[in-house]
Amino acid sequence: MRSDNFEIYRQDMHSHLLPGLDDGVKTTEDALSFIRQLGALGYTKLITTPHIMSGLYNNGPDTILPALDRLRAAALEAGITTELDAAAEYLMDDYFESLLNGREQLLTINGQYILVEFSFVALPFNYRTIFFNLKMAGYEPILAHPERYMYLHHDLDFYHELHEAGVQLQVNILSLYGYYGSRVQKMALQLLDAGLVAFTGTDLHHQRHMDVLGGKPLDAGLRAKLAGGVIKNELL
């Protein structure tokens, strides 16, 4: 099956495919099924990103890297050729700040990108300092799904400010479909039109997400925009 979205489904840098590590995929069998389904859509490389949320998902290199090894081995055995890698989706909180300040090993995408997310409730009060410190430590921060933080929706300037500070923005493809509601969809489109989006991600957790991604294609104009060279996933 070759999807009409084929041109935008090549490299993914945001998903929850390591079994049992977070609120994503539960079993190796399911992980392999999703990797196969994503492969059928056109994805050749998947960089999966388990949540790191202190107290809830206590992940780090010690849990993520062995889980990646196990999934790679299972994929190999199943004859799957999709390239698999892992980083993490860090909640930007005190714990993350302590890792950064303590110069702990952070899990990167391509050696330099760090995927971070904000709380869905409120903006981290010291986000400017954290982004600045990340840059000073040689990392390139990527903010996951900026369109999903409702408390920012009134403020397009905020996103411009992040962009100017060198924070890259990653929109969820599911947002473009309207999966999270029309307000989130509108914000995603607005960010795209403003030229502020650097990456797209599936943020795949479960089959309902997969069904949307593999369902009817996004509209042709939107696909052309995503395939038009502004999105940097293919550098990964």
Instruction: Choose the binding region for Fe ion from 27-35, 179-187, 197-205, 212-220 (rule: CB under 5 A).
Output: 197-205
**What is the SS3 assignment for 145?**
coil
Pairing of strands 45-48, 11-12: parallel
Burial of 66 per CB tally in 10 Å (0-12, 13-18, 19+): exposed
Q: Does 147 bind Fe ion (CB under 5 A)?
A: no
Q: How far is the CB of 115 from Fe ion (least distance, A)?
A: 8
- The smaller minimum CB distance to Fe ion, of residues 87 and 196, is found at 87
Q: How far is the CB of 144 from Fe ion (least distance, A)?
A: 6
Q: How far is the CB of 96 from Fe ion (least distance, A)?
A: 15
- As a whole number of angstroms, the longest Cα–Cα distance in the chain is 49
Contact 100, 130 (CB under 8 A): yes
Neighbours of 232 (CB within 10 A): 17
Contact 84, 68 (CB under 8 A): yes
**CA 26 – CA 126 distance, rounded (Å):** 34
- The smaller minimum CB distance to Fe ion, of residues 28 and 170, is found at 170
Among positions 31, 146, 203, 213, the unique one binding Fe ion when judged by CB under 5 A: 203
Q: How far is the CB of 201 from Fe ion (least distance, A)?
A: 7
- The smaller minimum CB distance to Fe ion, of residues 132 and 207, is found at 207
Mask: binding to Fe ion, 89-118, rule CB under 5 A, as x and -?
x-----------------------------
Q: Which residues bind Fe ion (CB under 5 A)?
A: 89, 203
